[in-house]
Amino acid sequence: MSNIFYSELTVSCILDSMNSDKNNTEYDVVTKPKHYMLFPDKGIEVRNLVEMLLNRANKNGYNQPMFLSDYAQMLQYVLRYDAKNGKEDLEKAKWYLDKMIESLLKETK
């Protein structure tokens, strides 16, 4: 991972810790499901990391809508597999990864 990514993540963690007390995280099945919280003590949710990685991919030229959609889905399944459905989520992530590879192969033809 690049230093820019670590810098963005560090800034995000600092801002989150300044804005509220993350140690008393209250979960909600609609707005803050527990399996979407990667680092509750830092206020980092799956969506925060996915957003950062999608922005980076887009800046690096990977800007096809379906590629980015598949990338987002794959990341979500990988990042929460251990807190949700285990092997099933990893199989779903693999399915999306295969779709990403197919998209890249179509572009190079």
Q: Give me the helix-helix angle, 65-80 and 87-108, nearest 10°.
A: 160
Pick from 109, 104, 105: nearest CA to 67: 104
44-53 pLDDT tens trace: 888 889 999 9
Please tell me the predicted confidence (pLDDT) of residue 4.
54
Residue 85's pLDDT band (cuts 50, 70, 90)? confident
Three-state DSSP at 44 gives strand
Task: State how far the Cα of 105 lies from the Cα of 30, in Å rounded to an integer.
Answer: 37
37-80 pLDDT tens trace: 777 788 788 888 999 999 999 999 998 999 999 999 999 999 98
Mean pLDDT of the residues in the chain? 78
Domain boundaries, the chain: 3-108
Whether 12 and 55 have beta carbons less than 8 Å apart is answered as no
Please tell me the predicted confidence (pLDDT) of residue 47.
86
